[in-house]
Amino acid sequence: MSFFKISSLVFSIFFSVSAFAQTVSVSDPWIRATVQGQKATGAFMKITSKEGAKLTGVSSPAAGVSEIHEMKMEKDVMKMAAVTSLNVPAGGAVELKPGGYHVMLMDLKAPLADKATVPITLTFENAKGVKSQVELQVPVRAMHGKMEHKH
Ligand SMILES: [Cu+2]
């Protein structure tokens, strides 16, 4: 009985520490492979959050600079720009995909080959300003053909 009490106490401490991190989940992350000489690429994933969160930072040891980017049409020209944060609505999802939001990895230290794995750390902030980090091991994938352009 005492063993059960201790283990459930440890359990509850563990859960209170990671409670926020657990409300954010990231699925299907991938990075577009690069060729020799290419200095930047995009990382894509789906982020869901039970209680709502903001993605406020990204970092990766593979890139000198990592940013959150959005893409939008401006007079028929696709442009991308850095945003300071990305809202994930409570109970909702945000999809980072080609042609939309993405994590931009710039100043790459080496080409990212198909089937390699690149660590990316995402920093989230909840409504109370509490920060949490999600560490990902993201697979690199070569794109077949040209950039997908779906609407
Ligand atoms: Cu970009």
Is 46 buried (19+), middle (13-18) or exposed (0-12) by CB count in 10 A? middle
Q: Which residues surround ligand 1, an ion (CB under 5 A)?
A: 69, 80, 104
Ligand 1 center to 118 CA (angstroms): 17
The H or E element that residue 7 is part of is helix 2-23
Q: What is the structure's pLDDT at 74? A: 87
| C-alpha to C-alpha distance for 72 and 112, rounded to whole angstroms | 26
- Who's near 59: CB < 8 A, 6+ residues apart? 66, 120, 121, 123
CATH number given to 3-141 = 2.60.40.1890
| C-alpha to C-alpha distance for 17 and 10, rounded to whole angstroms | 11
Residue 140 contacts residue 112 (beta carbons within 8 Å): yes
Ligand 1 center to 138 CA (angstroms): 17
pTM of this structure: 0.80
pLDDT in tens, 12-71: 444 444 555 568 999 999 999 999 899 999 999 999 999 999 999 999 999 999 999 999
| C-alpha to C-alpha distance for 42 and 140, rounded to whole angstroms | 10
| C-alpha to C-alpha distance for 61 and 92, rounded to whole angstroms | 29
Ligand 1 center to 103 CA (angstroms): 7
pLDDT in tens, 65-81: 999 999 988 899 989 99
Q: What is the structure's pLDDT at 73? A: 85
pLDDT in tens, 82-106: 999 999 999 999 999 999 999 999 9
Structure tokens at 65: 């600079």
